[in-house]
């Protein structure tokens, strides 16, 4: 076993130990944990912030560059999905409606 393999193995084991310790930290205490009110409020916005951080770049960028044309199926699908969500307030209909716009434009027209 060469030093690179040993170093890789040590890094994997170290990351595993850090992961287990940080995840079990809350179980090691005898008294219950309570987050401050400001942290609880902030955590309410975490899922939408994470989703936005993943979805928005996929809509407005292609190959690491901002899209420069309106002929992109993702723009129309995102607009249709947003409209459907604001009208129906249903995530399933939002996904189905967005894909119903995206697929014909992307596959049929080559957008």
Rounded Cα distance, 105 and 111, in Å: 6
Query: What pLDDT does 1 receive?
Result: 63
C-beta of residue 85 within 8 angstroms of C-beta of residue 94:
yes
The predicted structure's pLDDT at residue 4:
77
pLDDT tens string for the chain (111 positions)?
A: 677 788 999 999 999 999 998 888 777 777 777 889 999 998 899 888 998 899 899 999 988 889 888 888 999 999 999 999 999 999 999 999 999 999 999 998 887
CA distances from 30 to 13, 19, 25, 42 (A): 28, 21, 11, 26
- For the chain, counts of helices (H) and of strands (E): 5, 2
Residue-level pLDDT at 24? 83
H/E stretch holding 38 reads: helix 37-44
| Burial state string for 43-64 with b = 16 or more CB within 10 A and e = fewer than 16 | eeeeeeeeeeeeeeeeeeeeee
Q: What is the pLDDT of residue 27?
A: 75
């Amino acid at each position: 076993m060469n030093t690179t393999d040993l170093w890789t193995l040590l890094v994997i084991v170290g990351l595993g130990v850090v992961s287990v310790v940080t995840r079990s930290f809350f179980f090691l205490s005898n008294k219950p944990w309570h987050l401050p009110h400001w942290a609880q409020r902030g955590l309410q916005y975490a899922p939408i912030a994470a989703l936005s951080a993943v979805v928005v770049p996929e809509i407005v960028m292609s190959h690491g560059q901002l899209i420069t044309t309106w002929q992109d199926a993702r723009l129309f699908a995102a607009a249709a999905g947003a409209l459907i969500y604001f009208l129906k307030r249903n995530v399933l209909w939002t996904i189905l409606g967005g894909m119903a716009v995206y697929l014909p434009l992307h596959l049929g027209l080559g957008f």
